[in-house]
Amino acid sequence: LALALERGASSLWLDLVLSADDKLVLLSDVRIERLTNVKTIFPDRSRPDGSYYSFDFTLDELQQLSLTPHAVLEYLPLGLSRSHLPVTALDDFLHFVDLVSDDLDTPPALICILKQGWRHLQEGKDLGAAVLDALNNYQSRAGTAALMVGSYDPEELQQLALSRGAGPVDSIGFMQLIGADDGKEVQRFEFGTYQPYSYDLLFTKFGLKAVSDYADTIGLDPEAVFDGSGELLQTRFLDDAHMLGLRVVCSRIDSLPEQLLNLESRPEALLEHLLFTIGFDGIVTTEDRRARGWLVDLAEEGGNEQNRIIERLIDQIGERDAMPSDPVQSDTTR
């Protein structure tokens, strides 16, 4: 969090899973052997498939672990100078956000991502309900951050959105994430086995209309919208989404196809292509400082129509409502 804020991020992406004692922790996968040193600390705690799962360990046990370079390097490169980077509980993270918010003009917006809710359900755990309860409690005690819940599972997110009651939780936004049809994020039990979920319906006008009934924003993973050559697969999708009042952000742009990353051999050209040529409303990137600096520099160059759009995007950075509006969101807290 400290590094992300130092880099100027005003929106933070938090991947969440549950522990054995139903505590929310910041991890990007329920399988934790790739993310932590669990094999060293608890060598005999794997399941028959050879994996170690977050919901087999209590919060106290998870906090005995250290994050691995794989979990840290891409998002927090400076963190490797420390010998121990522990697994963080969401409650601790929210407490720290409030501690540092007094020194910020605008507290960061927090985008809380439900990771593999279908696996949690197999264990009798409701990840979405736990996250919504935690954020409701946070706002009830005068939490200062703007909040959004995101999920790759349309049924999970729709159920959460429709379960909202009156009170502080009404100000929590919802982001429908769309990834690859590989089953990594979402699976459904069909024909006696778990099958990868297909997002084909969500790319239709009917599917988009359904999403607009429960979500404020759509987050597209690169593999869902670009082919291997960097060409846009769904050319009408953004226009159709905007017609329904949905914002569309491109998440994890650092994993875009190489053809796009090398666009004109100039990093800023990629941002210009995504925000202005294609028309995304925002991006999620580890290079938030560079992206923000580029937006500011462009806004100072003149008064044409594009610069007025840029100024509008920058002005949104300071807004705090249910829907984080910063066009540049940080991916550094995954």
How high is the pLDDT of residue 58? 98
What's the pLDDT tens digit per position in 291-312?
Answer: 666 666 666 665 555 555 444 4
Please state which of the ranges 47-56, 145-154, 186-195, 285-294 shows the lowest mean pLDDT: 285-294
How high is the pLDDT of residue 259? 58
Tell me the pLDDT band of 284, cut-offs 50, 70 and 90: confident
In angstroms, rounded to a whole number, what is the distance separating the alpha carbons of residues 116 and 128? 10
Q: Which helix (H) or strand (E) holds 187?
A: strand 187-190
Of the spans 182-196, 246-260, 275-289, which averages the highest pLDDT? 182-196
Instruction: Classify each residue of 171-207 as buried b or exposed e, where b means 16 or more C-beta atoms within 10 Å of its C-beta.
Output: ebbbbbbbbeeeeebbbeeeeeeeeebebeebbeeeb
We report the CATH number of the domain holding residue 86 as 3.20.20.190
How high is the pLDDT of residue 83? 58
**Which residue range is the domain that position 278 belongs to?**
2-330
User: Token pair 């291997």 is at which residue?
Assistant: 228
How high is the pLDDT of residue 315? 41
Global pTM value:
0.84
Phi, then psi, of 210 in degrees rounded to 5: -65, -40
Tell me the pLDDT band of 169, cut-offs 50, 70 and 90: very low
In angstroms, rounded to a whole number, what is the distance separating the alpha carbons of residues 43 and 64? 13
What's the pLDDT tens digit per position in 222-273?
Answer: 888 888 777 788 889 999 999 999 999 988 776 666 656 565 556 677 778 8
In angstroms, rounded to a whole number, what is the distance separating the alpha carbons of residues 316 and 181? 33
Dihedral sign (CA 76, 284, 175, 139): positive
Q: Total domain count for the chain?
A: 1
